[in-house]
Structure 1
Amino acid sequence: MVSVLSVAVVVVAFALVFVERDLWGLAGHDDTLADSAAFFLPTHTLPSHYSVHLTPDLEAFTFAGKCEIKVNSSADSQTIVVHAKELTIHSVSYNGEAAASHSYDETLEQLTIELAGEGAKAGADGVLAFTYDGVLNDQMAGFYRSKYNSKADGTGEERYMAVTQFEATDARRAFPCFDEPALKATFDVTLVVPADRVALSNMNIVSETLDEAAGKRTVTFATSPIMSTYLLAFVVGELDYVEAHTQIGNIAVRVYTPVGLADQGRFALDVGVKVLDFYQDYYAKEYPLPKLDMVAIPDFAAGAMENWGLVTYRSVLLLYNEETTPASIKQRLAYVVGHELAHQWFGNLVTMDSWTYLYLNEAFATYVGWAATHAFFPEWQVWNQYVVNDFQRALELDALESSHPIEVAIENPNKVDEIFDAISYCKGSAVVRMLVAYLGEETFRAGMRDYVAKFAYGNTKTEDLWACLSAASGKDVPGLMNTWVNAVGYPVVSVSRTSPTTLAVTQERFLSTGRPAATPVAAPEWNIPLRAVSGADPAAASEDLLTAATGEIAVAADAWVKLNQGQVGFYRVAYDAESIALLSSSDALAALSPVDRVGLVNDAFALAAAGYGSTPLALDLIAAVGSAESEYIVWADIASSLSAVAKAWTSDADLAGLRTVYGRLFAPLAAKLGWAKSPGESYQDSQLRPLALSRAIRANVASVVDEAKARFDAGTVHPDLQSSVYWALLSVASPDDAAAMHNKLVAEYNAATSQDTKVVLLSAIGGVPTRDLAHKVAVWAAESGDVRNQDLFYVVGSLLGSAVGRAVVWDYVSSNFDALEAKFQGAFLLARIVKMVVGSLTTQDALDAANAFFAARDVSSYERPLKQAVEEVTARLQWIERDGAAVSAWLAVQAQEA
């Protein structure tokens, strides 16, 4: 599954003017319950096959169900326990005999069945049968309803489709089942649907029967391979499709779209076909199902879901319109398709043993998803973007004491949604990337192929993968990886030159709140690949492995040295004054790769913000790098660092100095790049343009502001520029102009028929400069019904880009929290919003108010993200207290030099 944080990347990390490195991390919940074992089903009875028969009612929003489960018992028993949730059970039988009774535990979401007669006998097969009713809910979980218009032009009748989202523990909302990843079985699915609707499931259709009198069609699908319940899926709705076939295996691949929009599925189809062939070669195993469908869903809480053979997506991540879709969304679409199709092997064919090993699914799918994207779109330089995107988000979240290990012991499966976060996805993929660099790509692939072949259709744990990679490489993979996977946090490696040819290095855990004064350097926890490049030979790199608290590296005399070449290792580097002076020279900066310049700047800034260094010196380094920089990823990181300053230093004088910095750095870029693509322009320049223009607007560069306003009024701002330019233009507008722009954006949003256009507008609309307008935006987004629940976080992120918006959002959320809880009941989006809103606070008074507010509430469903948000604010306040005067003085100098 692609988490909603991945969707946020489209507009927050790249397109929006207020670039922040991680608005969307949501970490795990490590509180345990004394009776946590009760959340797991007894193991004396296990499933082998399901027959599921469902009749959804798309008007009453209910469904009727029949389910038979073939089971085998390993011991005599009078009881069988299955999962169920929000189902009304009408009858239960075992081998045709009605059960003596059944009872339900709402907390455990378990149905306990007391069998009649002799019950289940050891070694015997049996059949559990249920009849029941359920609800097509509006919570985007389980078997739920999604609203759409029956015509593509948006003027048609409002209708509903029925769709599923079962990961992690919501298959039980659709049928009684053994809802744990290791309890695999085969599935037969039959759907009774309106005659004019398309019905889809994981497998191909084997029969259809039409009941003309009832206006119903009974659709039966082929038996699935053995798989976990969370991968089962159904879709019922009005859909068009486009189709193509793979070269390997001639597999039929279809992209299903709203009626009339089939052409917008062609880009995803092309990517899907190519990527499916790529993975058949990568894993050295053919795709095992007869077809692959990908479906655009209007209401979808996550980004996408890898259901085997029936992958579901947010519409914005599957539909591509050449005229309206920004390049950043096109890129994300390609990656998300790659990520979900990677799961068809890594997650679906070979499945984690339990949710404790979630990262085995998500970290590896993230890594190979980017690898596939790079293979087909090398001009995008996605691995460079990975460093300022996934890699940095993971570093930021994992710098908190309230972070969690990559591998998390899940005591309560109902809490697993909380670890679909930047640790499981981004840190997980970062340490995989580090491992690939350590082993070599071909060796890594050989180990992966062995793993897939050995454990196909089975379940695995971490040690199974490490064993395959160790066998392929001849290296001690567990020795390298166990601490990275099982320990919270990551190290900072401190570097000092002790002689002309020697660097001394030490390691300790890096914390965003700084080094505890009473704690010495921590004992070594990590085996750290140091990989260094130097001015003596910038084309070569040395390989060292730091396995102790301290060590030494031999270097060339008087040459600059950059550790962590390529930002492949998951750690930060703190250089002494001599080393940083050498690295800051124009010759060194020119010799370093763009990724290494990002690493140098980002580490320096993060270390300064955490109290390991000086913020003014880090800002000087930013100015030095920016003076001759041309690469988008470096500018994106510089912009992100300056956004962090703007969020912390909010006085008029400080912001005036920051505007001067924006103007000095970004106005020349804006003038150079202009408003239109030039012939032969690189993809990176097309990504740099919205960043440069929006920052120049925020600096109030008159020529850029005037041109932006003229283009806004004429409706000629290119889709690639709209979200960032619109937001920036709103932020510097007069109250009257901002009100007029706001009204125009709302009107355009309501008229828009494409989801990408709606996302762009939602991402811009919060740039308004006054409290009244910001409040109006918040009320409209949350209460008007115009904005889908799944899209509210775009507006929240947009408002949080300014001090005015941050104050209004906290006021609104705290005043309307009960309504928001009700709106997001059963979904994980509330936890995202809590973390975003609380994490944006900038004063101690605001933090105290938030702590008092949540102290009076039940926060169990978002306790960990709330803790992380509070810790983020605490770190920011410490930063302001520590460096406040020095940064203000630095900004004042910039303003004077304007």
Structure 2
Amino acid sequence: MAGKDRDVLPDAVKPIHYAISLYDLELGGSFSYKGTVKIDTAIQKKTAEIVLNSLELKLHDAEVFTEHTKTQHAIRASNISYDETSQRVRLEFPTELPTSSKAILVINFSGTMNNKMAGFYRSKYKPAAPHVASVPRDAEHHYMFSTQFESCDARRAFPCFDEPNLKATFDFDIEIPADQTALSNMPEKETVKSSKDSLKIVSFERTPVMSTYLLAWAFGDFEYVEDFTKRKYNGVNLPVRVYTTKGLKEQGKFALQNAHQIVDYFSDVFGIDYPLPKVDLLAVHEFSHGAMENWGLITYRTTAVLFDEAKSDAKYKNRVAYVVAHELAHQWFGNLVTMDWWSELWLNEGFATWVGWLAIDHLYPEWNVWAQFVTESVQSAFQLDSLRGSHPIEVPVKDALEIDQVFDAISYLKGSSVIRMLSAYLGVKTFLQGVSNYLKSHAYGNATTDDLWTAVSQTSKQDVNGFMHNWIKKIGFPVVTVAEEPGQITIRQSRFLSTGDVKETEDETTWWIPLGLKTASKPTGSAAGAFSSKEETLRDLDESFYKLNVNQTGFFRTNYPPQRLAKLGNARENLSAEDKIGLIGDAAALAIAGDGTTAGLLAFVEGFKGEKNYLVWAQVISALANVRSIFSDNEQVSKGLKNFTLQLISPATEAICWEFTPNEDFLTGQLRALLISSAGGAGHQSVISEARRRFQLYSSGKDQAAVHPNLRLAVFRTIVTEGGAAEYEAVKEQYLKTTAIDGKEIALQAMGRVDTAELANNYLDFLFSDKVAVQDLHSGAASLGANSKARIHLWQYIKTQWDAIHPKLAANSVVIDRFLKMGLSKFASHEVGQDIAKFFEGKDNRGYDRTLGVISDTVRANANYKERDEKLVLEWLQAHGYA
């Protein structure tokens, strides 16, 4: 059945409850399994067919049991036909099925535990501890088995009505080796011995009403660490566990320490107790996403849930804490109340992102997470949303093939940014009260964006729907341009495009903009001011100091007159870290679009030499890295920018030194790693020499403490950047032998700093070998793509090896989407942009067609910027003694 904006299943039959049994699992060879699913349904209209979702499954038979005058009738399907394009199966019956509130559809089927990180799949890993006898293995690896059903892959595991608003309850049981551990959404109900030797059947308690994409199960050679919530739920403290394969459970302790506190925190702020009887977190060795919020059994990429206090880079502590919070937020927002359709995915992801950071700010106020949010999340959202190929937050999604592409910076990061903007304007407490009312009104059901705004409007007594309509429904965001006159300023909003060529027809949206005006007399900003017109004049303004968008809570860029930007640069003591990050980000973006200049950006950041804040430095270095990338083909400009960067960061780098002190705070450690890595990349000779000395001691085994875990990436990158084949091979050896949970990711990122075609091709061959997990391919693409000397070799490799690498990339749409976007978006050449477009023209690009549009827009913006500013940049660098 086709709706206006969505292609959905016919509505004749509605699922109410599933009972799923899996058995005859082949744990090697074919990795096949058999299953029976019994679906309690309501037949709402007479029909001679039932259509449901199925992908890569074989349905052996199907039968419907109905009650008529207290007699049960069985009608067997006379024909089963598949439509692979729409991922559906049609069950045809010899006679019409009568309407019935209690019909049971029974299907026997078989499937495969695939290696695509989608559906019911297997993950390879090298065991970290002695294992049980029956663990599935090959010569080198062991296997664990788990599920990933979001967005539309439950249909790969069992035939089902796989749409988010077709909620049901679920019973699940599985037959596995007697010495393995099985997990699912709910606690274990019972385990019985199978009639087959050394097997058992594990069954689980019935789930609440929920969407198919939230069902999950897993089994393997697992162990766990456990703690309990401090709050009581139905009279008991809930068990919270982190499960890993054997030998890794101790690395789950940091996630565990966060998880039980966050469950209690969200239960308080939402005013609704966590709804299930247990919370399990599972580390999965091969995982396409960062994590998945399956209700009661949350699955994670290992680097997003495991942390080794002795071996891990501290930046992963930040990642683990945040990802744990994000997924736990979904237990309410997404699981208890689910979006009606995938077009409103942002309701799940935007909110979980914002409230995830809210929880981390609550637990770790010293981490200054909102400055981190501005430098990472807000700037990333701006970057994508400044392209023509962006999309509204709420984007029409017709069918399953389109869905994965909206799991992007718009749904997550722009979504969370506009929620932060709204909550800052209304007050966080008022906003969360509205959220609580929304969750209570729609518990165990589905809801829309309008439902959320209605609840928040009622609580705040403000027209939230009016405020937010254009932010959610329209593409893009505004730049607010400031014109100064004595005692007043005029502000004008217009759409911002990084290509700088906004057409009149593209500038018709007027956004509601909370101004956040900060002045000398109101240093925390004015909460009341907002404007919803194209232009407005603010009178009686204290001109000695003012800044719009206090703490960068508004999702807009600000274009000040050059002299005002200079004044703000000289008044840095009046600016928060968020303010500084926002100003740097705006100056860099305005230079790309042509509304500002690179000279203006360089002059502005030159004043940050004495900066102490890690997150501000991260924004400065990110902006400079992009400028250096854009102009990398011009040797004179490139050398001048390298010299500029070196002179800017050397004082701070030399002041912070190499040694970590006991009880040093998290942000200082991160600043040290950032500055050393950047200084090494900018040619700081003493940093390069010290990195080489330490790496020699570390890699030879003479002194493992020579390279602190937080400095592995900085040191590895520096020696590969400044070295040749020997250094590259030495880091590859680190990749092959590391036992650190983050070790492979760090080595891969460093290896991409190679500077010759030969080494780039060697790296790419290695990347696509069986030594690198498919989940990590995007790390290699990102590293080469950011490397101005290697990105062209990446593109040549993609072109010449496409037929060989495409099957591996395309097995999972998330993988190919990330690989292409991260690998190809840094070019600044119209010629290369046209070559990319020509190469993909005529190919089946379903699943990443939107990404190709983003790449095209980004490369064009970069190329326009390079052509426009190249000469001016060189002149500025020469005039200031850098070139």
Give the aligned partner of residue 797 of structure 2: 812
Give the aligned partner of residue 841 of structure 1: 827
Tell me whether 1:789 sits opposite 2:774 in the alignment: yes
1:622-671: CA deviation from partner (whole Å, max 9, x where unpaired): 112x1332111111111111111111112222222122112211111111
- State the TM-score, normalizing by the size of structure 1: 0.92
Give the aligned partner of residue 48 of structure 1: 16
Following TM superposition, by how much is the alpha carbon of 1:541 offset from its aligned partner in structure 2, in angstroms?
Answer: 3.3
| Structure 2 CA distance for aligned equivalents of residues 868 and 542 of structure 1 | 35
Q: SS of the counterpart of 1:688?
A: helix
| Structure 2 CA distance for aligned equivalents of residues 503 and 721 of structure 1 | 47
| Structure 2 CA distance for aligned equivalents of residues 450 and 317 of structure 1 | 31
| Structure 2 CA distance for aligned equivalents of residues 209 and 860 of structure 1 | 45
Alignment check: 8 A CA contact 1:190 1:221 kept: yes
Alignment check: 8 A CA contact 1:295 1:310 kept: yes
| Structure 2 CA distance for aligned equivalents of residues 325 and 681 of structure 1 | 16
| Structure 1 CA distance for aligned equivalents of residues 504 and 456 of structure 2 | 37
| Structure 2 CA distance for aligned equivalents of residues 213 and 507 of structure 1 | 71
Q: SS of the counterpart of 1:890?
A: helix
Give the aligned partner of residue 731 of structure 1: 721
Tell me whether 1:799 sits opposite 2:769 in the alignment: no
Give the aligned partner of residue 109 of structure 1: 87
| Structure 2 CA distance for aligned equivalents of residues 274 and 124 of structure 1 | 43
1:402-461: CA deviation from partner (whole Å, max 9, x where unpaired): 100000121123311110000000000000000101111111111111111111101001
Alignment check: 8 A CA contact 1:533 1:542 kept: no
1:279-312: CA deviation from partner (whole Å, max 9, x where unpaired): 1111111111111111110111011000001100
Alpha carbons of 1:366 and 1:441: their partners in 2 closer, same or farther (altered >3 Å)? same
Following TM superposition, by how much is the alpha carbon of 1:238 offset from its aligned partner in structure 2, in angstroms?
Answer: 0.8
1:742-773: CA deviation from partner (whole Å, max 9, x where unpaired): 22211121112233111111111111232221
Q: SS of the counterpart of 2:197?
A: coil
Tell me whether 1:125 sits opposite 2:98 in the alignment: no
| Structure 2 CA distance for aligned equivalents of residues 581 and 536 of structure 1 | 20
Which residue of 108, 116, 126 corresponds with 1:149?
A: 126
Give the aligned partner of residue 36 of structure 2: 66
State the one-letter code of the partner of 1:145.
R
- State the TM-score, normalizing by the size of structure 2: 0.94
Following TM superposition, by how much is the alpha carbon of 1:66 offset from its aligned partner in structure 2, in angstroms?
Answer: 0.4
| Structure 1 CA distance for aligned equivalents of residues 554 and 470 of structure 2 | 14
Give the aligned partner of residue 410 of structure 1: 397
Give the aligned partner of residue 155 of structure 2: 172
| Structure 1 CA distance for aligned equivalents of residues 52 and 727 of structure 2 | 55
Following TM superposition, by how much is the alpha carbon of 1:596 offset from its aligned partner in structure 2, in angstroms?
Answer: 0.5
Give the aligned partner of residue 642 of structure 1: 624
Within 5 A, what are the aligned runs for 1:506-525? Answer: 506-516=492-502, 519=504, 522-525=507-510
| Structure 2 CA distance for aligned equivalents of residues 37 and 665 of structure 1 | 52
| Structure 1 CA distance for aligned equivalents of residues 722 and 127 of structure 2 | 40
Which residue of 486, 491, 498 corresponds with 1:505?
A: 491
Tell me whether 1:452 sits opposite 2:439 in the alignment: yes
Give the aligned partner of residue 10 of structure 1: none
| Structure 2 CA distance for aligned equivalents of residues 124 and 856 of structure 1 | 49
Q: SS of the counterpart of 2:789?
A: helix
Tell me whether 1:311 sits opposite 2:266 in the alignment: no
| Structure 2 CA distance for aligned equivalents of residues 431 and 311 of structure 1 | 27
| Structure 1 CA distance for aligned equivalents of residues 77 and 417 of structure 2 | 51
Alignment check: 8 A CA contact 2:371 2:581 kept: no
Alpha carbons of 1:243 and 1:553: their partners in 2 closer, same or farther (altered >3 Å)? same
Tell me whether 1:721 sits opposite 2:711 in the alignment: yes
| Structure 2 CA distance for aligned equivalents of residues 461 and 355 of structure 1 | 11
Alignment check: 8 A CA contact 1:667 1:693 kept: no
State the one-letter code of the partner of 1:170.
D
Give the aligned partner of residue 224 of structure 2: 241
| Structure 1 CA distance for aligned equivalents of residues 679 and 141 of structure 2 | 43
| Structure 1 CA distance for aligned equivalents of residues 262 and 194 of structure 2 | 40
Following TM superposition, by how much is the alpha carbon of 1:581 offset from its aligned partner in structure 2, in angstroms?
Answer: 3.5
| Structure 2 CA distance for aligned equivalents of residues 681 and 38 of structure 1 | 53
Give the aligned partner of residue 681 of structure 2: 698
Give the aligned partner of residue 855 of structure 1: 841
Alpha carbons of 1:799 and 1:581: their partners in 2 closer, same or farther (altered >3 Å)? closer
| Structure 2 CA distance for aligned equivalents of residues 443 and 476 of structure 1 | 14
| Structure 1 CA distance for aligned equivalents of residues 200 and 182 of structure 2 | 9
Q: SS of the counterpart of 1:824?
A: helix
Following TM superposition, by how much is the alpha carbon of 1:39 offset from its aligned partner in structure 2, in angstroms?
Answer: 3.2
Following TM superposition, by how much is the alpha carbon of 1:123 offset from its aligned partner in structure 2, in angstroms?
Answer: 4.1
Alignment check: 8 A CA contact 2:587 2:601 kept: yes
Give the aligned partner of residue 684 of structure 1: 667
List runs of 5+ in structure 1 lacking aligned partners.
1-32
Tell me whether 1:887 sits opposite 2:864 in the alignment: no
| Structure 2 CA distance for aligned equivalents of residues 683 and 296 of structure 1 | 25
The more displaced of 574-583 and 147-156 is 147-156
State the one-letter code of the partner of 2:780.
V
Following TM superposition, by how much is the alpha carbon of 1:843 offset from its aligned partner in structure 2, in angstroms?
Answer: 2.2
Q: SS of the counterpart of 1:835?
A: helix
Following TM superposition, by how much is the alpha carbon of 1:159 offset from its aligned partner in structure 2, in angstroms?
Answer: 2.2
Query: How many corresponding residue pairs?
Result: 854
1:507-529: CA deviation from partner (whole Å, max 9, x where unpaired): 1000000034x639934520110
Tell me whether 1:400 sits opposite 2:369 in the alignment: no
Q: SS of the counterpart of 2:726?
A: helix
Alpha carbons of 1:628 and 1:157: their partners in 2 closer, same or farther (altered >3 Å)? closer
Give the aligned partner of residue 12 of structure 1: none
Alignment check: 8 A CA contact 1:663 1:696 kept: yes
Alignment check: 8 A CA contact 2:404 2:847 kept: no
Q: SS of the counterpart of 2:281?
A: strand
Tell me whether 1:595 sits opposite 2:592 in the alignment: no
Which residue of 473, 496, 507 corresponds with 2:460?
A: 473
Alignment check: 8 A CA contact 1:727 1:768 kept: no
Tell me whether 1:270 sits opposite 2:253 in the alignment: no
Alpha carbons of 1:729 and 1:662: their partners in 2 closer, same or farther (altered >3 Å)? farther
The more displaced of 108-117 and 399-408 is 108-117
Alignment check: 8 A CA contact 2:456 2:464 kept: yes
Within 5 A, what are the aligned runs for 1:608-647? Answer: 608-624=591-607, 626-647=608-629
Alpha carbons of 1:210 and 1:153: their partners in 2 closer, same or farther (altered >3 Å)? closer
| Structure 1 CA distance for aligned equivalents of residues 506 and 738 of structure 2 | 56
Which residue of 76, 79, 89 corresponds with 1:98?
A: 76
Within 5 A, what are the aligned runs for 1:545-624? Answer: 545-585=530-570, 588-624=571-607
Give the aligned partner of residue 735 of structure 2: 749
Tell me whether 1:221 sits opposite 2:204 in the alignment: yes
| Structure 2 CA distance for aligned equivalents of residues 558 and 201 of structure 1 | 62
State the one-letter code of the partner of 1:94.
V
Within 5 A, what are the aligned runs for 1:522-541? Answer: 522-541=507-526
The more displaced of 179-188 and 152-161 is 152-161
Following TM superposition, by how much is the alpha carbon of 1:844 offset from its aligned partner in structure 2, in angstroms?
Answer: 2.6
If asked which structure has higher relative contact order (CA below 8 Å, sep 6+), I would say: 1
Tell me whether 1:423 sits opposite 2:410 in the alignment: yes
1:460-488: CA deviation from partner (whole Å, max 9, x where unpaired): 01111111101111000001001000000
| Structure 2 CA distance for aligned equivalents of residues 137 and 213 of structure 1 | 24
Within 5 A, what are the aligned runs for 1:758-797? Answer: 758-783=744-769, 785-797=770-782
Alpha carbons of 1:704 and 1:133: their partners in 2 closer, same or farther (altered >3 Å)? same
Alpha carbons of 1:854 and 1:759: their partners in 2 closer, same or farther (altered >3 Å)? same
State the one-letter code of the partner of 1:140.
M
| Structure 2 CA distance for aligned equivalents of residues 520 and 855 of structure 1 | 28
Following TM superposition, by how much is the alpha carbon of 1:362 offset from its aligned partner in structure 2, in angstroms?
Answer: 0.4
Following TM superposition, by how much is the alpha carbon of 1:337 offset from its aligned partner in structure 2, in angstroms?
Answer: 0.3
Alignment check: 8 A CA contact 1:317 1:332 kept: yes
State the one-letter code of the partner of 2:99.
A
Give the aligned partner of residue 16 of structure 1: none
1:669-709: CA deviation from partner (whole Å, max 9, x where unpaired): 11111111235533222111111112222232222111111
| Structure 2 CA distance for aligned equivalents of residues 37 and 883 of structure 1 | 43
Tell me whether 1:439 sits opposite 2:426 in the alignment: yes
Alpha carbons of 1:580 and 1:298: their partners in 2 closer, same or farther (altered >3 Å)? same
Q: SS of the counterpart of 2:768?
A: helix
Q: Percent identity?
A: 39
Q: SS of the counterpart of 2:81?
A: strand
Root-mean-square deviation (CA, aligned residues, Å) is 1.9
